[in-house]
Structure 1
Amino acid sequence: MSTADVSGKSLAELVSLRGRRAVVTGGARGLGKAIASRLAEAGAALLIGDLDEEQATAAAKELAERHGVPAIGAAMDVTDAAAVATAADRAVAELGGLEIWVNNAGIFPAVPLLEMTEETWDQVFAVNARGVFVGAREAARRMSAGRPGRGGVIVNIVSTAGFRGSAPGLAAYVGSKHAVRGLTRELALELAPLGIRVLGVAPSFVPTEGNLAMAAAAGVNLDEIPPTDLMLNSPIGRIGTPDDIARVALFCASDLSAFMTGSTLLADGGDTA
């Protein structure tokens, strides 16, 4: 099935997500919440999935009031296939359908390879790689069920770590993100006949609650590190913000990217160039 030619649409129509329903995993805070906010601003109804159901519900309420769209929060552990399926069913039942799914949930414990246990390795892959597989599978099932020609978009949050080594102690994280980048290409191939596009977004380091907590656990005080050091040789000359990444995710989810699938877009200030 071919995707629609949207050349005749206005710019406002290309950006608009009115009438579309989106799920964002790990969406209660940080990068996930920033993405959810931009999708809602563009008009999408939302289900925010997160391990912390209370925080997900609070984020959904905030975005619904700010942007005037339906939004609900749901408990979601992306390592639990049944929980992911339940959240996907709830999006269809309460929002009326599903056209956009953002696989954002991820973890990144810093453990030197010689000290890393199999349990830590497996947990990182369970969240970062298997969680993407399960989310994409459940999204695709609902995007295609009984809805010929509708299709949808799956956006996987990868990382610049999916293109290169990152830092000592991140072997599991780097391995999992390379897996997600490869999975993005394969999913695009398999789901194209269903009218489902699959794109990846690869951010560099962005200060979110999760990243700051990881740095603190590793004994690193980011306030004492010049932003230029954090960005290394970035041509942009500044560190990214969650909204820098959210805008790229919005591009992927909208008809602006209608002729794209299988690509992973670097959102890194040029740091990986």
Structure 2
Amino acid sequence: MTFPFADVSASPLTALLSLTGRRVVVTGGAQGLGFAIARRLAEAGAAVAVADLQEDRARAAATQLTADFGIDAIGVAMDVASSASVDSSAAAVVERLGGIDVWVNNAGVFPSAALGEMSDEHWDQVFAVNTRGVRNGARAAVRTMADGGVVVNIVSTAGFRGVAAGMSAYVSSKHAVRGLTKQLALELAPRGIRVLGVAPSYVPTEGNIAAAAAAMADRAGEAGDPSTVPQAMTQSLIGRLGTPDDIARVVLFCVSDLSLIMTGSTLLADAGETI
């Protein structure tokens, strides 16, 4: 069996890092970690489709990317939990950008609920977005990747260990995504498609701060203080919390030819938290 991965050892570093000519989809890309990822990939020369539940935010983010980097960027509405939504949005991206070469499954949720109080709807919602959403995105991507490509799944340190109380659905969903990353890498390598995971620790973004504060409030029975959340949720060994751009640069490495030898791995971007 022939595997279509070139040896790029003779390529200059600038060529290995460049994404010029590649078409990228970033789910949950209108703000926070997703937008940071979209910015770095746009800076590297990719045409970017910002996919988000809120189409107006997605379009505004795309407009900003075009203004900042002079690349083609579009905003599309996408509900990653819905196969129909993902497939129709992917078709729109192909029509407008000409294809898809990279798909970043970033969209996710992490509501908190103690197991004894957790409803079936809570569990199903987390898995619908965090796990089925990754499957939906990867499936839509590989159906369009005729000449190979890269799928990156944003996992979490919760894909490696348990975390705070009330997060059993989230931790389970992220362990599933880590396993899915391995299996997809095995299945898709003969088609020239690499699949990698990136597992951040807690990074303060708009959504993360709000969700973590709500989880703390649920456990304490009172209003959570967002300013205390980072200290409660991280054990960084580098003297600071990670930033969205810290994670975006790891994703850039994954989708570029710098990491061409890699598939199936999940890279810990956790400031040493899981040591």
TM-score by length of 2: 0.94
1:142-221 alignment runs, 5 A limit:
142-144=144-146, 150-218=147-215, 219=217, 220-221=224-225
Cα distance in structure 2, aligned partners of 1:132 and 1:217 = 25
**How far does the alpha carbon of each residue in 1:124-176 deviate from its partner, in whole angstroms, 9 at most, with x for none?**
000000000010011001002xxxxx200000000000000011000000000
Cα distance in structure 2, aligned partners of 1:185 and 1:216 = 32
Counterpart pick for 1:30 among 29, 32, 43: 32
Q: Report the counterpart of residue 234 of structure 2 in structure 1.
A: 231
Deviation at 1:235, TM superposition (A): 1.8
The answer on whether the counterparts of 1:76 and 1:84 sit within 8 Å (CA) in structure 2 is yes
The answer on whether the counterparts of 1:153 and 1:196 sit within 8 Å (CA) in structure 2 is yes
Q: Which stretch shifts more, 18-27 or 82-91?
A: 82-91
Counterpart pick for 2:141 among 139, 143, 163: 139
Cα distance in structure 2, aligned partners of 1:224 and 1:263 = 32
The answer on whether the counterparts of 2:210 and 2:226 sit within 8 Å (CA) in structure 1 is no
Cα distance in structure 2, aligned partners of 1:228 and 1:126 = 30
> 1:200 is paired with a residue of what secondary structure?
strand
Q: Report the counterpart of residue 105 of structure 2 in structure 1.
A: 103
TM-score by length of 1: 0.95
The one-letter amino acid of 1:194's match is R
Deviation at 1:230, TM superposition (A): 3.8
Q: Which stretch shifts more, 215-224 or 51-60?
A: 215-224
Cα distance in structure 2, aligned partners of 1:222 and 1:77 = 27
Q: Report the counterpart of residue 271 of structure 1 in structure 2.
A: 273
Confirm or deny that 1:89 pairs with 2:86.
no
Deviation at 1:8, TM superposition (A): 1.0
The one-letter amino acid of 2:181's match is T
The one-letter amino acid of 1:166's match is V
Confirm or deny that 1:12 pairs with 2:14.
yes
Q: Report the counterpart of residue 220 of structure 2 in structure 1.
A: none
Deviation at 1:229, TM superposition (A): 4.9
Q: Report the CA distance shift for 1:79/1:229 in structure 2 as closer, same or farther (over 3 A).
A: closer
Cα distance in structure 2, aligned partners of 1:133 and 1:236 = 34
- Percent of counterpart pairs with the same letter? 64
Cα distance in structure 1, aligned partners of 2:99 and 2:211 = 36
The answer on whether the counterparts of 2:157 and 2:200 sit within 8 Å (CA) in structure 1 is yes
Q: Paired residues, what number?
A: 266
The one-letter amino acid of 1:189's match is L
| Structure 1 unaligned blocks of 5 or more | 145-149
Cα distance in structure 1, aligned partners of 2:78 and 2:91 = 12
Q: Report the counterpart of residue 65 of structure 2 in structure 1.
A: 63
Cα distance in structure 1, aligned partners of 2:179 and 2:166 = 22
**How far does the alpha carbon of each residue in 1:209-237 deviate from its partner, in whole angstroms, 9 at most, with x for none?**
11111123232313246x555422x2212
> C-alpha root-mean-square deviation of aligned residues, in Å?
1.1
